[in-house]
Structure 1
Amino acid sequence: MPCIIDPNHQMSQEQASSWKSLCGKTLFFGHNPFKSVQEAQNSSKPICKVCRKLAGLPPKEVVRPQFIPYVLYKAYQGELGIFYVTGETNTQFRTDVGQYLPKYLRSSDLYWVRSGSEASQVFYSKDMAEALAMAEKQLQQRRHYLQSLIDETVKLQTLLKQRQ
């Protein structure tokens, strides 16, 4: 974050390419420092927290939108789950019972992993029809993979019988 140049520091008073900030950092052209407190206030850029405090500026107000709970459908390994989400982070959903659901999850079951990318990963949707379609697709991928294993086994059995 850009800092505010300290006008009272000797380094800042010299006409050079480096200055001292209110928080004590050495600033250069690449740091894009604010030349005064008024310039920092008028700018829409973020201000260094320490410089803001030392300049007597009020802390930056963070406006967070109010979270609206919703129903989330989870398709994972061909099963459909229904959850009521009351909170959300970058990596997890928080449900109404206090449980955390990871947003990104991949199965460790080798049959599901080899079945396909959709079959081995969790899929979330607010639309039940979309989640049902994905669960069906996951089951189809698994069925196709297992059928290919059966076909391969039958083929090997016939080759083995032919050699006898």
Structure 2
Amino acid sequence: MAQRVPSNDLLQRIAALEEQVATLRRTGWERDELPLYPTNFTAMAFNDGTSFGTLWEGVLSPRTASLSLGLTLVGDQVAAVNTGGQWQVLLGGAVVWSGTVLPTYTVQYAATVLDLLPYRQQSELLVEIQTRRTSGATTGGRNGNGGSIGLSPRFARLL
């Protein structure tokens, strides 16, 4: 069986490394799905409170560079009054992404890639997704407290 003797020439070794890196880049990145669990008993968790409440959460070990996250959001309509609100995503208790839910009673989609590099030294990182109602009906609705903000993750991938 023929054996290959490694080259001592620096330029040849650099060329070989560049070829290996190019091959790795062409194969793509491995993606792992991050499970997120509802803190409510319904398929799409709703929050009718005026202060932020956690609807979805999960714990991860930040061994990758980023988290790709997609959300589905919807306001509510109670007695012809539309409900709007806000949502936010927390990593380790700090808000890293936020937005609004328009009081139009239509489904909205949001997606981003969150940087996990500042959290690489942690063994566990809590991911929380929260919502709150900021406008709309204050009585009636799902739980009697007014309109609700619905939120469900579409995807959560570790890149």
More helix by share: 1
Instruction: Select the structure with the greater relative contact order (CA < 8 A; seq sep ≥ 6).
Output: 2
TM-score of the aligned structures, taking structure 1 as reference length = 0.25
TM-score of the aligned structures, taking structure 2 as reference length = 0.25
More strand by share: 2
Larger Rg: 1
